[in-house]
Chain A
Amino acid sequence: EPEVTQTPSHQVTQMGQEVILRCVPISNHLYFYWYRQILGQKVEFLVSFYNNEISEKSEIFDDQFSVERPDGSNFTLKIRSTKLEDSAMYFCASHPTGMRNQPQHFGDGTRLSIL
């Protein structure tokens, strides 16, 4: 079964540094998402992306965050100047059509640790 793949599985970064999290969505999926889960808390929506532009973003997704689909396969999340509170699991998800009778498919996540 096709999978959403994320790299790296664990990223350790010094506070203030830039970090790029990478995702390869399922081929032929059209909608892409980033979510995060801070330890002990719920999974939270960050941003959705369709047709090479952001379709929705949460309050968490401030100017420090950006997303990009640089080629036909990768979908990236960049945090420009990381803060301690950015430490979390970051999940990428993709959706085939955007129709609500189908689920989003998630990757296994990247654990981001900010020191």
Chain B
Amino acid sequence: DQQVKQNSPSLSVQEGRISILNCDYTNSMFDYFLWYKKYPAEGPTFLISISSIKDKNEDGRFTVFLNKSAKHLSLHIVPSQPGDSAVYFCAASGAGTASKLTFGTGTRLQVTL
């Protein structure tokens, strides 16, 4: 049951360049999407989110784009920094108060010097 998919298990980007992480979903009932960052031995840390009524949300170096017709979202990090090296999880939730999160399998981002 892969309702949320992150097809790239890993990504390597040079410092200063753009990192683009992708996520696809299949469940049309999802209407709120989040990106979490996870370092080893720590829990997921919230990064940025987007509601289905928007197609873009920006917070500093991080921008999330949502394409509802393609059921696709992406996270852009510009410029990438070595401290951004982590595993990034895409998550989605559907209708209902405090709905559970459905996670993707994660993409490991490595930002090299």
A residues near B, CB below 8 A?
4, 6, 31, 33, 35, 41-45, 48, 50, 55-56, 58, 91, 95, 97-101, 103-109
Contact = CB atoms under 8 A, between A and B. Distances in A.
Interface residues of B, number: 25
B28 interface: no
B59 interface: no
Interface of B: 31-32, 34, 36, 41-46, 49, 51, 89, 91, 93, 97-106
Contact of A42 (B32, B98, B106): B106
A56 B31 CA distance: 18
In the A-B complex, the 10 residue pairs with the closest CB atoms: A98-B98, A106-B43, A103-B46, A98-B97, A31-B98, A45-B100, A43-B103, A108-B43, A100-B32, A42-B105
6 contacts: A6-B43, A33-B100, A35-B103, A45-B101, A56-B99, A91-B44
B31 to A, nearest CB: 7
Nearest to A41: B105
A35 B101 CA distance: 9
A48 B43 contact: no
A21 to B, nearest CB: 13
A104 B97 contact: no
A108 B41 contact: yes
Contacts of B89: 42-43
Contact of B98 (A48, A105, A107, A109): A48
A95 B98 contact: yes
Contacts of A106: 36, 43-45
